[in-house]
């Protein structure tokens, strides 16, 4: 029954995906659907016995047992390294670069900890020793560890230095559940980029603005702000004046309803004084109103000049000849699949419609059936044992526990050399 439901969903999505077409050059594509994937990929041994094992698996639940197979991290708290060379190295100079792949982190993810990024490398890579010190061109994909680290890493190697994005591309709670998610990076020859999550735009802009690269323009050192330049958007209203006698109103007054107690003895208790209460007439310190400044010209900025250090080819990489995953994971069970490297975003999205969109809908249908069956079995078992069953007793709690203990090993993932 589970397989039937999944295949119905998958067939519907595939039919829609095949209705369109795209054109572009594909430099690398991997679906891991056949056992020959082992001939195309080489395991790294750079950390010796600390290396984890990659297994060929669709995971614990899936829509299609064959099409949903990918490479899965089998062991906990291990380093992972695996790479595959392109049939022909290429340069993305004067053309778009599109990198896309999917990751499925099975299980509860509110405390999941593990890297999930792909690397593009040169054709001269030593695959057996592929590790953290291996030079790369681009590193892209999710980086998750508890609540502190939750982002889409996008790192470019620029003139020998690995540049992190100035601000993180944050992953929200709904972006990091146990289902398959698709990550797409699109870099254009005009030095702009777009990052997509599940085919939806997540971040975009220019490379110089997002990374520490030379900007297109610089401030004119000879330009200075005019002395009459007004940068204050608001000004005090000259027609608003303090009302006469405003400061004479006290903050407190004697309580008019207070009365001296009958048993009060001035000789023993001292002279009686009525208590003070807030004055309802008191309006607080007077503040002059503000109005829009008619002379406001906005923040002053110096004139811009062309930057002689601007690199119009910051986006470009020569000899892109291999792809690979070099990771540290605390939690196992991550499945990597459907890798695409090409020069056409439409081609990448067409591939995603044939793979990711089929997978995500099918696996969701299967997982819902599995969860519903488990819940019914748990309720039946509890009823047979004579226990009271609350409706929510067996509902999976997907909300993060704010007081959950952070995984100690997470520091390794954060501090690990990029």
- Going by the annotation, the residues of the binding site are 117, 119, 136, 143, 326
Annotated binding site for an alpha-D-glucoside: 117, 119, 136, 143, 326
Max intra-chain CA distance, the chain: 107
What does the chain come to in residues? 418
Ordered DSSP codes for 279-323: -TT---S----EEE-TT---S--PPEEE-TT--TTTT--S-EEEE
Which residues make beta-bridge pairs with 156? Answer: 138, 163
Closest by alpha carbon to 99, among 139, 44, 40, 147? 139
3-state SS, one letter per residue, for 24-84: CCEEEEECCCCCCHHHHCEECCCCHHHECCEEEECCCCCCCCCCCCEEEECCCCEEEEEEE
Q: Which tokens sit at 368?
A: 């819902």
For residue 49, the tally of other CB atoms under 10 A from its CB is 6
Q: Would you call 152 helix, strand, or coil by DSSP?
A: strand
Cβ atoms 116, 106 nearer than 8 A? no
How far apart CA 128 and CA 110 sit, in angstroms, is 34
Burial class from Cβ neighbours inside 10 Å (0-12, 13-18, 19+) for residue 179 reads: middle
Cβ atoms 336, 325 nearer than 8 A? yes
DSSP state of 99: E
Cβ neighbours of residue 398 closer than 8 Å, sequence gap 6 or more: 110, 177
How far apart CA 83 and CA 118 sit, in angstroms, is 10
């Amino acid at each position: 029954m589970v397989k039937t439901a999944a295949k119905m969903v998958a067939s519907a999505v595939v039919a829609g995906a095949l209705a369109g077409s795209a054109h572009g050059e594909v430099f690398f594509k991997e679906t891991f659907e056949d056992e020959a994937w082992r001939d195309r990929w080489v395991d790294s041994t750079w950390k010796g016995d600390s290396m984890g094992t990659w297994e060929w698996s669709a995971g614990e639940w899936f829509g299609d047992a064959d099409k949903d197979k990918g490479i899965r991290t089998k062991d906990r708290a291990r380093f992972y390294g695996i790479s595959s060379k392109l049939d022909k190295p290429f340069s993305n100079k004067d053309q778009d670069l599109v990198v896309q792949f999917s990751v499925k982190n099975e299980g509860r993810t509110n405390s999941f900890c593990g890297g999930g990024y792909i690397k593009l490398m040169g054709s001269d890579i030593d695959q057996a020793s592929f590790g953290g010190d291996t030079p790369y061109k681009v590193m892209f994909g999710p980086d998750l560890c508890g609540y502190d680290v939750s982002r889409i890493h996008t790192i470019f190697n620029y003139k020998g230095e690995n540049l992190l994005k100035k601000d993180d591309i944050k992953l929200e709670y709904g972006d990091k559940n146990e289902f398959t998610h698709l990550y797409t990076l699109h870099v254009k020859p005009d030095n702009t980029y777009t990052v997509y999550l599940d085919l939806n735009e997540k971040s975009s802009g220019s490379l110089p603005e997002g990374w520490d690269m030379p900007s297109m323009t610089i401030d004119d050192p000879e330009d200075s702000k005019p002395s009459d330049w007004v940068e204050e958007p608001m000004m005090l209203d000259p027609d608003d004046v303090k009302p006469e006698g405003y400061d004479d109103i006290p903050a407190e007054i004697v309580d008019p309803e207070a009365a001296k107690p009958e048993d009060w003895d001035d000789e023993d208790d001292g002279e009686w004084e009525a208590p003070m209460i807030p004055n309802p007439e008191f309006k607080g310190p007077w503040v002059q109103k503000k109005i829009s400044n008619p002379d406001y010209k906005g923040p002053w900025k110096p004139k811009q000049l062309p930057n002689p250090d601007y690199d119009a080819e910051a986006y470009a990489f020569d000899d892109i000849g291999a792809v690979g995953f070099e990771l540290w994971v605390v939690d196992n069970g991550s499945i990597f699949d459907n890798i695409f490297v090409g020069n056409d975003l439409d081609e990448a999205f067409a591939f995603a419609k044939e793979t990711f969109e089929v997978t995500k809908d099918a696996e969701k249908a299967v997982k819902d059936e599995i969860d519903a069956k488990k819940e019914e079995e748990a309720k039946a078992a509890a009823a047979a044992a004579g226990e009271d069953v609350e409706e929510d007793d067996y509902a999976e709690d997907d909300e993060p526990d704010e007081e959950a203990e952070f995984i100690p090993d997470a520091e390794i993932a954060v501090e690990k050399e990029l």
